[in-house]
């Protein structure tokens, strides 16, 4: 790994990192309902050919399972979205920090930039999901720590300090200490009259800390309040996820050849997957006993458990390896251009997609005015009642609204891309 630590000078933006960031954001801004609608045009769910497979394989190919979050323990494709967002933030950091050093930016200015970004991300997170705009409304209390952007802020702050002042070996050690330390706290610390190691959907140390510190200002999953997400102690896991992304960025920024970088990313991904798989205790299904006993760390996204960090990071490394191979090594950049348009303005896309209901606009509602509303109504004209019973419109129709929603936002982002308008925090 020493050769990886010898980094190349800062370069322009890495195409594959922007594309992967945009790929991740695509699902957040409406890509998931669009994919679901398209798949249902061509096949039933679950498809008939999965019958007879083991249960876990059926889940893998069942859209309803993979398009939703795991209720508690487990991991789905949709669970990848938030970890990948944090991971890509980390992957871009070595390039950004190297650029500041080459420009001779004073350390005080660098810290000001870091703190400003953390503050803006935090406030944007409160606006998007924390009811900040409803302040004073007792029915909608402000949620102080409740959003992906704030998780990014926490992980970015910790990773920035480590990246600024410590060598690679210390950064690796910090990632290990964050993961192991978080799990040991969850395992060994009694809380609120409960025994140490109590870990259920509603009773666990991370949830207890959020209850005590945040009180009424904590985030609740309104769709399933029995499975609350946790944030304060989970920040240790957020920081570890961003740090694992930093290691990926160091690989991509190194002097290694393109194929060597891809190989390193694959190796790191395989190591993380193996560690996450073993630590989660999933081998018990094949061994007939729990290899780690009471030291097992269940893979639970709701509390951002350490095994979940490793398991998700493994897939993040492999995704980055694939994107880097195709787009930067082989040079098939046209494959990623659609996602780059989203990725270079990812924070804007995330915030605007939460504040503006593009699906309602795409339906051509009475409130949709001007060009966007007219375009949406034109697009969704295919869904008119006169055509509904007619093939193939009755099958295609459900895909038109999500397609219109994604297209409208993407055209806005394309305009910004063409004008070289990149909104950064």
CA distance 417 to 413: 6
Closest CA to 35 of 398, 334, 329: 398
Inter-residue contact 90 to 241 (CB < 8 Å) = yes
Between the CA of residue 84 and those of 27, 37, 395, what are the distances in Å? 11, 24, 32
pLDDT tens digits, one per residue of 62-81: 666 677 778 888 898 889 99
Provide Rg for the chain, Cα atoms. 22
The alpha carbon torsion through 249, 253, 256, 257 (nearest 10 deg) reads: 100
Task: Give me the pLDDT at residue 227, please.
Answer: 65
Between the CA of residue 423 and those of 161, 343, 348, 349, what are the distances in Å? 24, 11, 7, 10
Inter-residue contact 73 to 300 (CB < 8 Å) = yes
Task: Give me the pLDDT at residue 94, please.
Answer: 95
Inter-residue contact 225 to 71 (CB < 8 Å) = no
Token couple for 257: 């050849």
Stretches in the chain below the pLDDT threshold 70: 1-12, 42-65, 130-142, 219-227, 283-291, 356-399
Task: Give me the pLDDT at residue 328, please.
Answer: 94
pLDDT tens digits, one per residue of 15-56: 999 999 999 999 988 888 888 777 777 666 556 555 665 555
Task: Count the Cβ atoms, other than its own, within 10 Å of residue 207.
Answer: 26
Looking at the DSSP bridge assignments, the partners of residue 254 are 7
Give every CB contact of residue 235 below 8 A, 6+ residues apart in sequence: 151, 154, 155, 158
Task: Give me the pLDDT at residue 376, please.
Answer: 47
Q: What single string gives the DSSP state of each residue in 283-314? A: THHHHSS-SSGGG----BTTTT-HHHHHHHHH
CA distance 387 to 300: 45
CA distance 307 to 42: 36
Token couple for 42: 């061509």
Percent of the chain, pLDDT > 70? Answer: 73
Inter-residue contact 83 to 313 (CB < 8 Å) = yes
Task: Give me the pLDDT at residue 370, please.
Answer: 41
Token couple for 335: 């494959």
Inter-residue contact 88 to 20 (CB < 8 Å) = yes
Task: Give me the pLDDT at residue 85, please.
Answer: 95
CA distance 121 to 113: 12
Q: pTM score, two decimals?
A: 0.85
Phi and psi angles of residue 28, each rounded to the nearest 5 degrees, phi first: -70, -40
């Amino acid at each position: 790994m020493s050769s990886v630590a010898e980094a190349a000078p800062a370069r322009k933006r890495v195409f594959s990192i922007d594309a992967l960031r945009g790929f991740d954001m695509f699902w957040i801004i409406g890509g998931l309902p669009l994919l679901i609608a398209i798949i249902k045009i061509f096949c039933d769910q679950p498809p008939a050919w999965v019958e007879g497979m083991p249960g876990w394989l059926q889940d893998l190919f069942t859209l309803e399972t993979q398009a939703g979050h795991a209720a508690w323990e487990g991991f789905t494709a949709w669970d990848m979205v938030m970890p990948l967002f944090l991971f890509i933030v980390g992957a871009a950091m070595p390039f950004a920090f190297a650029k500041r050093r080459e420009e001779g930016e004073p350390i005080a200015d660098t810290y000001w930039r870091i703190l400003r970004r953390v503050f803006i991300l935090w406030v944007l997170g409160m606006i998007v999901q924390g009811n900040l705009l409803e302040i004073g409304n007792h029915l909608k209390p402000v949620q102080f720590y409740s959003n992906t952007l704030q998780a990014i802020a926490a992980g970015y702050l910790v990773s920035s300090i480590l990246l600024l002042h410590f060598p690679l070996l210390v950064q690796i050690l910090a990632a290990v200490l964050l993961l192991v330390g978080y799990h040991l706290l969850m395992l060994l610390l009694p809380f609120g009259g409960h025994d140490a190691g109590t870990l259920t959907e509603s009773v666990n140390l991370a949830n207890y800390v959020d209850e005590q510190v945040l009180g009424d200002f904590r985030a609740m999953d309104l769709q399933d309040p029995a499975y609350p997400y946790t944030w304060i102690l989970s920040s240790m896991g957020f920081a570890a996820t961003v740090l694992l992304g930093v290691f990926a960025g160091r690989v991509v920024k190194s002097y290694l050849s393109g194929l060597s970088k891809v190989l390193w990313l694959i190796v790191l991904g395989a190591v993380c997957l193996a560690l996450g798989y073993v630590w989660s205790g999933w081998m018990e299904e094949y061994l007939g006993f729990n290899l780690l006993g009471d030291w097992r760390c269940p893979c639970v996204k709701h509390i951002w458990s350490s095994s979940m960090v490793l398991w998700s990071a493994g897939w993040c490394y492999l995704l980055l390896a694939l994107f880097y191979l195709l787009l930067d090594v082989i040079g098939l950049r046209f494959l990623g251009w659609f996602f780059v348009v989203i990725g270079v303005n990812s924070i804007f896309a995330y915030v605007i997609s939460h504040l503006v209901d593009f699906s309602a606009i795409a339906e051509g509602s009475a409130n949709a005015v001007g060009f966007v509303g007219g375009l949406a109504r034109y697009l969704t004209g295919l869904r008119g009642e006169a055509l509904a019973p007619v093939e193939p419109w009755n099958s295609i129709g459900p895909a038109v609204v999500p397609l219109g929603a994604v297209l409208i936002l993407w055209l806005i982002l394309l305009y910004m891309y063409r004008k070289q308008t990149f909104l950064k925090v």
